[in-house]
Structure 1
Amino acid sequence: MTSLTISKRLQTIARYCPEGARVADIGSDHALLASYLLVKGIASFVIAGELNEGPFQAAKKQIHTLQLKDRAAVRKGNGLAVLEPGEVDVVCIAGMGGQLIVSILEEGLLKLEGVQRLILQPNVGEEIVRRWMLKQGWQLVAETILQEDGIIYEILVAERGAPLFPYENKDRPQEDLIRIGPFLWEEKSPILAEKWQHEREKWQKVLGQLKRSDKPEAAQRIAEIEQEVKWIDEVIACLHTDKP
Structure 2
Amino acid sequence: MKLSERLELVLSFVEPGESAADVGTDHGHVPVELVRRTIVKKAVAMDVRKGPLSRATENIALAGLADKIETRLSDGVAKLLPGEADSVVIAGMGGELIIKILENGRHMWDSVKQWVLSPQSEIFKVRRWLFENGFVIRKEDMVLEDGKFYTVMDVRREKDADSEGKTVDSDVLSLSEDSRMLYGDYLIRTKNPVLLTYLKEEEAKLLRFIEDLSAKAGDSGRAAERLSELKLQLKENQEVQHEMQGDH
Q: TM-score range with shorter-chain normalisation?
A: 0.7 to 0.9
Structure 2 residue aligned with 1:167: 168
Larger deviation: 128-137 or 167-176?
167-176
1:114 to 101, 107, 111: 111
1:59 to 56, 68, 76: 56
Give the residue type in structure 2 aligned to 1:167.
V
CA shift for structure 1 position 120: 0.4
2:130 to 121, 129, 133: 133
Task: Please say if 1:235 is aligned against 2:240.
Answer: yes
Task: Among all aligned residue pairs of Structure 1 and Structure 2, give the percentage whose two residues are the same amino acid.
Answer: 29
Q: For residues 125-204 of structure 1, what are the structure 2 equivalents within 5 Å?
A: 125-161=122-158, 165-171=166-172, 172-173=174-175, 175=177, 176-204=179-207
Structure 2 residue aligned with 1:225: 230
1:167-200: CA deviation from partner (whole Å, max 9, x where unpaired): 2421334613222212211221331111122333
CA shift for structure 1 position 238: 3.5
Q: Is the 8 A contact 1:86 1:113 kept in 2?
A: no
RMSD of aligned alpha carbons: 2.3
- Name the SS of the counterpart of 1:82 in structure 2: coil
Name the CA shift for 1:62/1:118 in 2 (closer, same or farther; >3 Å).
Answer: same
Task: Report the TM-score when normalising by structure 2.
Answer: 0.86
Structure 2 residue aligned with 1:16: 13
Q: Is the 8 A contact 2:124 2:181 kept in 1?
A: yes
Name the CA shift for 1:17/1:190 in 2 (closer, same or farther; >3 Å).
Answer: closer
- Name the SS of the counterpart of 1:154 in structure 2: strand
**Separation of aligned partners in 2, 1:203 and 1:97:** 23
**Separation of aligned partners in 2, 1:133 and 1:38:** 28
1:5-27: CA deviation from partner (whole Å, max 9, x where unpaired): 22222222212222233111111
**Separation of aligned partners in 1, 2:60 and 2:16:** 20
Task: Report the TM-score when normalising by structure 1.
Answer: 0.87
Name the CA shift for 1:173/1:53 in 2 (closer, same or farther; >3 Å).
Answer: same
5+ residue gaps, structure 1, are: none
- Name the SS of the counterpart of 1:147 in structure 2: strand
Structure 2 residue aligned with 1:102: 99
Name the CA shift for 1:179/1:233 in 2 (closer, same or farther; >3 Å).
Answer: same
Name the CA shift for 1:51/1:211 in 2 (closer, same or farther; >3 Å).
Answer: farther
How many pairs align?
A: 239
